[in-house]
Amino acid sequence: MAMEQARVTVFDTTLRDGEQSPGCSMNHQEKLRLAHQLDRLGVDVIEAGFPIASDGDFEAVKAISAVIRRPIIAGLARACPADIERAWEALKDAAHPRIHVFLATSDIHLKYKLRISREECLAQARESVALAKSFCDDVEFSPEDATRTDPEFLCRVLEVVIEAGATTLNIPDTVGYSIPAEYGELIATIRRRVKGAQKVTISAHCHNDLGMAVANSMAAIAAGARQVECTINGIGERAGNAALEEIVMAMRVRHDRYPCETAIAAEHLFPASQMLSEIVGVPVQPNKAVIGRNAFAHEAGIHQDGVLKNPLTYEIMTPQSVGVPDSKLVLGKHSGRHALAIRCEQLGYEFDRRALDDIYRRFVRLADKIKHVEDHHLLELIRETHKPASSATPLFEPLATAAAAAAGNSNQEPVKAFPIAAQPNGFGVPLPVGIEQHHDQEDYLWGV
Ligand code: KIV
Ligand code: ZN
C-alpha cells in the first residue's frame, strides 16, 4: 500500500470521554496533573472537559486553559447556545482554544432521544457551529452516532457544518458498532462525497464495545483521517475509547503500512499510563498492549533465551521506547537455564555449569508448585545450594526463617534488614517502573 507521509493529530480525550468511564472521575488537581503529563507526552489537543456539565468541569477546563499553553485545549458543548457559551467562557483564556460541538444524527437518536426531524437536526447543526465560530476560529463538529447514521444524511450534515465554519469533522463510532473495513469506507466516502471535505480535518473517534476501537482508528487513518481521538489506557464510556498508546505505537512500529507521524514523545507513554492508573485507582490489565505489566515480560524458556540473545526475536518495540526501563523476565516453570542464569547474575551470583544445573533442578521443582518464582524465592534456593564463603558478610538470613516468613509463619521473628543497594526492589536490580514488588524482600535480608 503506497501512502503519502502525513501528520496525524493526536486528540486526547482522557479528561472528557475517559473521565466519563465508571470509577474514573478526577478532581481539579488530578486533572491539572494529568494535563501536564499529556503536555509532556506531546498530544496536539487536550479535550479538558464538558464545561456545562458541572462547575467542577468548568473550573478544570478554565484552569487547564490558563496554564497549559502549547496544545490546543478543547471543551465539549451540545449543539445549543447555553452549552457553547459556557464552553467559550471556560476556554477563552487558552492560547489555542477549540469548541467541540456535537449533535446526534442517527435516526434512532433523532427519534427517541432528541425527538427532532432530520431538517431540524440540519438547522440546529448549522446554527450551533455558526455560533461557536463567532467565538472561536477552531470549531470541531461531531455527528454523534455517525456510524449508525444514514450516510446520505450524514454527508448533508457535514456539508452544512463546513459551510458554517467547522474546521474539524469528527466521525464518532459512539456505540462501538463499526468494524474496520466499514469504518474506513465511511471515512473514504466522506472525503470523496462531502463538498469542502478536502479543506477540513477528518477525525476518528472510536469506542471499544466490540474490541475494535484501535483497529477502526487505524482503518480511518489508512482512509485519510488525520486526527485520532483517544484516551490513555483506553479508558472511556462502557468498554472504553481507542487507546492512545496503541494507536501511536501501531503507527510507529508499522510505519511501513502507516507512513504517518505524530508529535508524541513515546517514552512518556508508560509514565502517563501509570499516572492515570494511580490517579483514578484503576489498575491497568497486565496483558494490556504497549503499557501492561506483562507487555514486555517473557516467561517461556524459548522466548527468554531468544530475547536474551537478541530482543528483536520476540520484541517488536523496546520497553525503553515507551518508557519502561527494562524488560522483566518472569521466572516460572517454562523458564530455561539461560534466563535463570541471567536473573542470578542480576542478583549478584555467577555459577558454573554444575552449580547452575543444581539450582535449576530445584528451581523447576519449586516453579511446579508456585506460579512465579520471585527474586526472594530464588535467593533462598541460592542460599541452599551455594553457601557464601565464610569470610563474606552474610547477605541473607538463615533459610529456615526466610522460608517460614515466606510461608506466613508468624512464630518466627522476621529478621530486621535493609536493602543491599539503593534500588527500589532492595536487590540492586532495577525493576521496570510501575512493576510492583509483591513480597516485602526487605524482611528477608541482612544489611551488608
Ligand atoms: O462517542 C461520542 O459520540 C462522543 C462525542 C461527544 C464526540 O464522545
Ligand atoms: Zn465518545
Q: What is the pLDDT of residue 325?
A: 63
Query: Which of 248, 280, 312 corresponds to the end of one domain?
Result: 280
Residues 355 and 267 both lie in one domain: no
Query: Which of 255, 280, 305 corresponds to the end of one domain?
Result: 280
Is 287 among the domain residues?
Answer: no
Residues 111 and 243 both lie in one domain: yes
Distance, in Å, from the CA atom of 356 to the CA atom of 361, rounded to the nearest integer, reads 9
Residues 125 and 69 both lie in one domain: yes
Q: How far apart are the first and last CA of the chain?
A: 60
In this structure, the residue with its CA closest to atom 6 of ligand 1 is: 102
Q: What is the CATH number of the domain that holds 223?
A: 3.20.20.70
Output the pTM of the full model. Answer: 0.78
Is 288 among the domain residues?
Answer: no
Residues 221 and 328 both lie in one domain: no
Query: Which of 280, 313, 330 corresponds to the end of one domain?
Result: 280
Distance, in Å, from the CA atom of 272 to the CA atom of 404, rounded to the nearest integer, reads 39
Is 216 among the domain residues?
Answer: yes
Q: Ligand 1: which of 114, 161, 205, 230 to mutate, judged by most atoms within 8 Å of the beta carbon?
A: 205
Is 392 among the domain residues?
Answer: yes
Q: What is the pLDDT of residue 395?
A: 31
Is 31 among the domain residues?
Answer: yes
| Cβ proximity of 334 and 300 under 8 Å | yes
Residues 304 and 202 both lie in one domain: no
448 residues of the chain, pLDDT tens digit each: 455 579 999 999 999 999 988 889 899 999 999 999 999 999 999 999 999 999 999 999 999 999 999 999 999 999 999 999 999 999 999 999 999 999 999 999 999 999 999 999 999 999 999 999 999 999 999 999 999 999 999 999 999 999 999 999 999 999 999 999 999 999 999 999 999 999 999 999 999 999 999 999 999 999 999 999 999 999 999 999 999 999 999 999 999 999 999 999 999 999 999 999 989 999 999 999 999 988 988 888 888 888 888 888 988 999 999 998 666 678 998 899 999 988 887 777 788 999 899 999 999 999 999 888 887 788 888 877 765 443 222 233 333 333 333 333 333 332 222 122 222 222 222 323 222 333 222 222 221 1
Q: What is the pLDDT of residue 329?
A: 75
Is 252 among the domain residues?
Answer: yes
Q: Ligand 1: which of 11, 19, 141, 142 to mutate, judged by most atoms within 8 Å of the beta carbon?
A: 142
Is 289 among the domain residues?
Answer: no
Residues 434 and 343 both lie in one domain: yes
Q: What is the pLDDT of residue 173?
A: 98
- Tell me, using a 6 A CB cutoff, whether residue 142 lines ligand 1: yes
Looking at the DSSP bridge assignments, the partners of residue 59 are: none
Q: Which helix (H) or strand (E) holds 376?
A: helix 375-385
Residues 65 and 13 both lie in one domain: yes
In this structure, the residue with its CA closest to atom 5 of ligand 1 is: 144
Residues 187 and 53 both lie in one domain: yes
Q: What is the pLDDT of residue 417?
A: 21
In ligand 1, which atom is closest to the CA atom of 175? Answer: 1
Q: What is the pLDDT of residue 413?
A: 31
| Cβ partners under 8 Å of residue 82, min gap 6 | 52
Helix (H, G, I), strand (E, B) or coil at 56: helix
Residue 217, Cβ neighbours under 10 Å: how many? 31
Domain that holds residue 411: 297-444
Residues 273 and 320 both lie in one domain: no
Find the 279 Cα to ligand 1 centroid distance in Å.
Answer: 23
Q: Which helix (H) or strand (E) holds 319?
A: none
Cβ-in-10-Å burial (0-12, 13-18, 19+) of 71 comes to buried
Alpha-carbon separation of residue 427 from 304, 336, 403, 407, 433 (angstroms): 21, 22, 18, 20, 15
In ligand 1, which atom is closest to the CA atom of 241? Answer: 1
Residues 395 and 309 both lie in one domain: yes
- Report how many domains make up the chain: 2
Beta strand spans in 174-233 (E): 201-206, 227-230
In ligand 1, which atom is closest to the CA atom of 207? Answer: 1
Residues 264 and 195 both lie in one domain: yes
In this structure, the residue with its CA closest to atom 8 of ligand 1 is: 17
Cβ-in-10-Å burial (0-12, 13-18, 19+) of 248 comes to buried
How many residues are there in the chain? Answer: 448
Is 292 among the domain residues?
Answer: no
Distance, in Å, from the CA atom of 427 to the CA atom of 412, rounded to the nearest integer, reads 23
Residues 228 and 326 both lie in one domain: no
Which ligand sits closest to the CA of 76? 1
Phi/psi at 207 (5° precision): -105, 160
